[in-house]
Amino acid sequence: MSSSKPAPIAIVGGGPCGLMFARLLECAGIDYVVFERDASSIPEPGFQGGTLDIHGQTGQEALRRAGLHGEFEKLARRDATSMLVQNYKGDYCMKFGEKRDAPEIDRLQLRQILLDSLPSHRVRWGKALASIERDTHQGQLSAKDIILHFTDGSTATAFRLVVGADGAWSKVRQLITPANPEYAGVMFIEGRLSLDNPQYHAAREMVGAGNSIAMSTDAILCVQQMSDRSYRVYMGIKGPQDLTRPGGELDVANIDKTRAALLAATGFYDGWAEHLRDFIAHAEGPWRVWPWCRLKPELLIPRAHDASADGTQNQDVWKRSAGVAIMGDAAHAASPNGEGVNQAMYDALRLFESISAEIGDEQEGNFDELADAEALERAITTYEAEMLARGRDHIEDGMNVENMFFGENAAEALIESFKLMKPESIRPSMEP
């Protein structure tokens, strides 16, 4: 079957991952459209985007290939790569990572760089995906038979390819596997310290322009500076997810109650040094909860020891789905380990490279839909072969972070491990 030109590629999700892929397509002259759930590019009130460390060989490499590294460097904070590690008593600490090629940038700043590089008509705002399905009556399966259903009641279909960059709870992933992330037993509660906060100067003296982490058996405390010089405070705790349910013990809608519970004699931060407890005591709202959720690593690449206790294999397997590719957290959601956005943007680069190698230059004229669909399937197969192995490693690394950051002597162990690493290997940002 032939037509005059190919249909657009649909990108579901307008975060750094989806927008990076869109930018690469834009540079190559390949038609696309981005569907983003946010109402507009203006952040909603109370949006709590954190800061991200962008790594040289992954995130920065994608920015270079997209022609945006210069714009990135205008905002990148290369003086913010350090991490101060200390135990919960505050009497064992050391600073690392000051010479890393992993400058910090606010998540919103990175997103804006990418948005500014795209024609405005390419992004359709207010398009939250409600569900995705196939019209199986069209014969051979391809992207053309995929129907996107949005929460506003509209639909979209007849695409060249559908790319899911719609996060950990991806709807697009449902065409590949029914699996969803599992709660890892850890959550962040996020607050902030403004420049006029009573604890601001204490944060500046302790953390400076970078990051810090303090650790105990059941809690961690991260403090990191943003581009406006304010600080984010992340209270990381181990416990059931229903602790923060409405009306629960740590319902953040009632900050005073939650703060008191965290600092109580039976709370998560009992026994902590006062200078660390003071950051919690003065953390401003709105507070926001970030549960640590991850996909099972065996979903991406099963191994012999992944069999369940009764000897059967996990039924939530990854199955190739014609005309569909997924990236970032949609493909390999992991606990925070400083790699998430880097791996996501690198996914976009690797998928783009695979597609470019198969379809060549876009030419107006006689376009063969069947040959193009076959070429895109080859490209996605190549992309997945590399991404799935890397994604499994990413998830397992996040699981290692879960184990590493909690424990009576976690700070001491982390400091000793950092001493053995090269500076570029240390990952200061928790990147929630």
Are both 206 and 134 inside the same structural domain? no
Interacting residues of 149 by C-beta distance below 8 A, sequence separation 6+: 129, 130, 131, 132, 133, 155
| Cα–Cα distances in angstroms (integers) from residue 194 to residues 90, 204, 230, 251, 263, in the given order | 23, 11, 5, 22, 21
**Residue 317 is part of a domain; what is its CATH number?**
3.50.50.60
Judge whether 270 lies within some domain. yes
DSSP at 161: E
Judge whether 97 lies within some domain. no
Are both 398 and 364 inside the same structural domain? yes
Are both 145 and 276 inside the same structural domain? no
Are both 278 and 331 inside the same structural domain? no
Are both 30 and 128 inside the same structural domain? yes
Domain assignment of residue 65, given as a range: 9-78+102-181+296-302+313-407
Contact call for residues 357 and 379 (beta carbons, < 8 A): yes
Question: Which two three-digit tokens encode residue 121?
Answer: 């008509």
Judge whether 421 lies within some domain. no
Are both 162 and 267 inside the same structural domain? no
Are both 214 and 107 inside the same structural domain? no
Structural domains in the chain (count): 2
The tens place of each residue's pLDDT in the chain, 432 residues long, gives 556 789 999 999 999 999 999 999 999 999 999 999 999 988 776 665 789 999 999 999 999 999 999 999 999 999 999 989 999 999 888 888 777 899 999 999 999 999 999 999 999 999 999 999 998 766 667 899 999 999 999 999 999 999 999 999 999 999 999 999 999 999 999 999 999 999 999 999 999 999 999 999 999 999 999 999 999 999 999 999 999 999 999 999 999 999 999 999 999 999 999 999 999 999 999 999 999 999 999 999 886 555 544 444 456 789 999 999 999 999 999 999 889 999 999 999 999 999 999 997 655 567 888 899 999 999 999 999 999 999 999 999 999 989 889 888 888 888 888 776 655 455 555 555
Interacting residues of 86 by C-beta distance below 8 A, sequence separation 6+: 92, 93, 94, 212, 213, 214, 411
Are both 391 and 255 inside the same structural domain? no
Judge whether 241 lies within some domain. yes
**Residue 256 is part of a domain; what is its CATH number?**
3.30.9.30
Are both 142 and 38 inside the same structural domain? yes
Are both 177 and 195 inside the same structural domain? no
Are both 384 and 323 inside the same structural domain? yes
| Cα–Cα distances in angstroms (integers) from residue 18 to residues 308, 323, 371, 411, in the given order | 35, 16, 25, 36
Are both 236 and 210 inside the same structural domain? yes
